[in-house]
Structure 1
């Protein structure tokens, strides 16, 4: 058997004993569950992703056997591609049990596996820390109902529902995770960097309170200030609550949400803000806002109010409208991120899930038909619910990675926006993967939490208008990002894809 705990787990325990000893016992108690959660996500990848060193998969009533090119034989339970709870306690490799994802990857000896294994170790330790922090928190929980959007955001403790690197935060110390990660419910003090207006690129409206005598004041995350900017020219700013994206925060005194540059690798990607994103921010926001007017009020976007950069992805910020603007608080409406619906009791019923699936599928497929593929995963997509909990309409935020089809826009008489670059494509496969992979294999799968429940909710797709996109959705396997393959392919740019069983066609 592999030896617990691993180096990353020990390192977190040692630092925790110094910076927050009261959490040490909770952290130790959370380790087994965290190991199983990360191993479950890795098993999903081994079961479905096109990993080049897997040469065969044998399914039986007892489970799944995966055969590697090196002759290894992996055995584990029958995979559930939509499960969001840990159900894989161990995997056998040539008869030897492994309970830690990192140790299993090292034993497989696959190309680039050592670096990925280290990430898995870090993800496991960080996930245990997140669960320990929530267990010891007086923040939102069943006995502390969420009142604000940021409180709902901070209920998302486990991170990405399907990525083995669900809580991978390399470069963050334990003290920094406790100080900045949303599941620990901190208040973060953002800094400000002053940039001459002539040396900055600004789109949209940059507010007066972030200007100073011909200079632009760019909000900066404290991690960025310390590790990248080295505190150079950083002045005190304002307090804010971190949202589930960690680098996006809700100011404590209200106002627009602030997306900061944070040049760290979180889950898979380095989270900076490109100059391109700032350049197109205002035009993109105005275009999508206009498009939503064709949706009869069923979809709203959080407008980009302003964006600024010092012509560097390391020093930039985006100001975004609050999603709460589209919920009528006087009528008891609330807006909840889809990723947080596990903490919303009505969303656990099959009837609620079916109603939500009908809303999300009809709206997002209509937007795709018009010419825009939303990246509608659980972080970007929010739902407005009534006082009784019914799903009423959708809110979408963060337009930085949508895809736009000029040909589809023209076909529906929609003016093509003055945009170019990676956002623009007429490739049908790219458009469908963007939406189907995020909404179906991501958001709806995570809301339902199992293949059986997902099949019930996804049945709503059969009654949608018969477009070419709907036909593809109903007759083909569902695309999902091959997240593990991408981490094991450092020289391959862009997204890579896998296919999951489609419950409407049985495979």
Structure 2
């Protein structure tokens, strides 16, 4: 059996043992999962600066990519902002491909074998995620984690939207938020003098002179390989490694597995910066006139290892009764209204651009950015969480009389391109595009939203230049290149 389809068969074999009642539905979901991943992959192939694509030729019947070895890859005209699967088949010369993993394997591009394996895992995991869904209730959730568990398909544009290499079927069912489990976190006791602590570590997570670090059970078994003591029950959120304690804060755990693109550990650097960033965010919130709130970091600790660390963060529900990640808006039906979508875009752009002018660029994608809704569903304000990947401009802060925090490392930059990429790539090409679901809907929302915004240089750049977006496929095919790589998408406002 060809290796990509072997992943689907391996999932089926394990599912037949651990959850046989899901097997028929899993099999039925596989074609749709292949189309969803293929659509994301085709978006990357048609818009990213891949070195082995020498030309792109648009015709009446679709788009043709000329490859470095003389072959041609043909598919439909892509909508780079579409979230629904639009591509069922592409043709490599005369061979039709409906399987994204097999397509990459047959292209034979550098580092394609590993990427093909990830795509195969993404397809099988996505089919598994969809197979386990009950009929969706018409009632909106009341608890924050219930909103997050409504998000089934993962990243709206990444071909590895559900890739979880290293997780068995049983582990995905036990830990994946879309499967709605309760996860038992363990504690690893570490002498306090061996830990770096910022903020206040709670008394209930201390044992005399030792700190009790919450550990994800997958991490304990596969990475730490050491015993853990009894811990706490928690509900996994959409990032998988962050979980909501019942009636309490959220716990971000180290999870040294590759999920989508990144290995989900917690760097010692991010722990050292966490308290400073949290205090700084409170200062920023005071200047946002209630438009934007930041979840406070309550405490963070590392045993001087990215594999053994944890962060405690307040729940976004501290800022409203109905607070949900932007990624979950598609489950509400609200974005189907052009007027609602434009109002949400106006709120998000107002907050994001104002903060950028002050000197802070948010990583405001659909997971980090949350929206507070009224009882009727109107967007009232925004909440931002996870400050580890923001960018801070000391020059802009000083220009506005804001004290520059004692930050160092990657979060600090005055480079205008870096700052705008961070915000526009995550907020416009990410959160807003994913909420709109198509270029047409995004264009309509942005045209309405920008009319009354202050005409700053940052807004001019957004209106007049191509839209930056992370080159997600290129990044997975460039393992030796660290950090983010970028492409440009057609600006819907041009």
| TM-score under structure 2 length normalisation | 0.98
Maintained 8 Å contact 2:56/2:64: yes
Q: Deviations over 1:309-355 (max 9, x none)?
A: 1000000000001000000x3xxxx1111000011122321111000
- The aligned residue for residue 214 of structure 2 is 219
The 3-state SS of whatever aligns with 2:421 is: helix
Match of 2:273 among 280, 305, 320: 280
Cα distance in 2, alignment partners of residues 462 and 76 from structure 1: 36
Aligned with residue 190 of structure 1, among 185, 194, 213: 185
1:155, distance to aligned residue in structure 2 (A):
0.7
Structure 1 residue ranges without an equivalent (≥5):
none
2:4/2:120 contact within 8 Å kept: no
**What's the C-alpha RMSD, in Å, of the aligned pairs?**
1.2
Partner of 1:490: 479
Match of 1:468 among 453, 457, 469: 457
Q: Is the 8 A contact 2:265 2:306 kept in 1?
A: yes
- Match status 1:61 vs 2:60: yes
Assess if the C-alpha contact under 8 Å between 1:372 and 1:405 holds in 2.
Answer: yes
Structure 1 residue 292, shift from structure 2 partner: 1.2
1:78-157 to structure 2, matched below 5 A, reads 78-134=77-133, 137=134, 141-143=136-138, 145-157=140-152
CA contact (8 A) 2:4 2:116 kept: no
Aligned residue pairs total 493
Q: Answer whether contact 2:433 2:442 (CA < 8 A) is retained.
A: yes
Query: 1:7-406 residue pairs with structure 2 within 5 A?
Result: 7-134=6-133, 137=134, 141-143=136-138, 145-230=140-225, 232-252=226-246, 254-327=247-320, 329=321, 334-406=322-394
Contact 2:4 2:101 survives alignment (8 Å):
no
Deviations 1:458-487 (A, max 9, x none): 112243111110000000000000000000
Q: Are 2:345 and 2:446, in contact at CA under 8 Å, matched by a contact in 1? A: yes
Q: Aligned equivalents of 1:354 and 1:4: distance in 2?
A: 45
3-state SS of paired residue (2:229): strand
Q: Following the alignment from structure 1 to structure 2, what is the Cα–Cα distance between the partners of residues 493 and 251? A: 34
**Following superposition of structure 1 onto structure 2, how do residues 443-458 of structure 1 map, counting pairs within 5 Å?**
443-458=431-446
Cα contact 2:220–2:227 (8 A) shared by 1: no
Secondary structure in structure 2 of the residue aligned to 1:6: helix
Inter-partner Cα distance in structure 1 for 2:27 and 2:277: 47
Task: Using the TM superposition, give the Cα deviation of residue 142 of structure 1 relative to its aligned residue in structure 2, in angstroms.
Answer: 3.3
Alignment match, 1:424: 412
2:421 and 2:351 mapped to 1: Cα distance?
17
* CA distance in structure 1 between the partners assigned to 2:152 and 2:119 by the alignment: 17
- The question of whether the paired residues in 1 share the 8 Å contact of 2:4 and 2:102 is answered with no
Secondary structure of 1:313 counterpart: coil
Q: Unaligned 5+ residue runs, structure 2?
A: none
Q: Which residue of 2 aligns with 1:500?
A: 489
Q: Partner of 2:287: helix, strand, or coil?
A: helix
Greater mean deviation of Cα atoms: 56-65 or 16-25: 56-65
Q: Distance in 2 between matches of 1:13 and 1:438?
A: 35
CA contact (8 A) 1:84 1:450 kept: yes
Q: Deviations over 1:24-66 (max 9, x none)?
A: 0010000000000000000000110000000000112321111
Distance 1:326 1:210, change over 3 A: same
Normalised by the length of structure 1, the TM-score is 0.96
Q: Which moved more, 1:143-152 or 1:368-377?
A: 143-152
Tell me if structure 2 keeps the 8 A contact 1:76–1:90: yes
Provide Cα deviations, 1:342-380, integer angstroms capped at 9, x if missing partner.
Answer: 111223211110000000001000000000000000000
Q: Which ranges of 4 or more aligned residues in structure 1 deviate by more than 4 Å?
A: 2-5
